[in-house]
Amino acid sequence: MTEKRKEKIRESAEEIVDSFAEIAEDLPTQEETYYQQDTLNVLRSDGGPTSGKKLEDFRDKFLRVMPDSDEEGNLKVEVAKWTE
């Protein structure tokens, strides 16, 4: 590529960038707030394990609302038709 051609391309690129910058000056601005949270290892406030009674109550309630279960209480699910 000749120096003359390179210079013409450079001038054209600068013209495009300048016109874009001029147009962008009139664009409305909007202030935004972004929040970042670095919470790792979230623990319960009391730090104690859940009692066996609460776990059993949860399991009973879960089994009542799930679609279907086998004789051993395992959840039965249907495979999505699109995976077949």
Q: Please indicate, yes or no, if residue 7 is contained in any of the structural domains.
A: yes
Residue 8: predicted pLDDT: 93
Range of the domain at 14: 3-27+49-83
pTM of the model: 0.33
In eight-state DSSP terms, residue 11 is H
Q: Please indicate, yes or no, if residue 12 is contained in any of the structural domains.
A: yes
Q: Please indicate, yes or no, if residue 36 is contained in any of the structural domains.
A: no
Q: Please indicate, yes or no, if residue 33 is contained in any of the structural domains.
A: no
Q: How far apart are CA 26 and CA 19, in angstroms?
A: 12
Q: Please indicate, yes or no, if residue 32 is contained in any of the structural domains.
A: no
Q: How far apart are CA 76 and CA 6, in angstroms?
A: 69
Q: Please indicate, yes or no, if residue 34 is contained in any of the structural domains.
A: no
In eight-state DSSP terms, residue 69 is B
Give tens-digit pLDDT for 9-48: 999 999 999 999 888 888 888 888 877 776 666 666 666 7
Q: Please indicate, yes or no, if residue 69 is contained in any of the structural domains.
A: yes
Q: Please indicate, yes or no, if residue 57 is contained in any of the structural domains.
A: yes
When divided into structural domains, the chain yields a total of 1
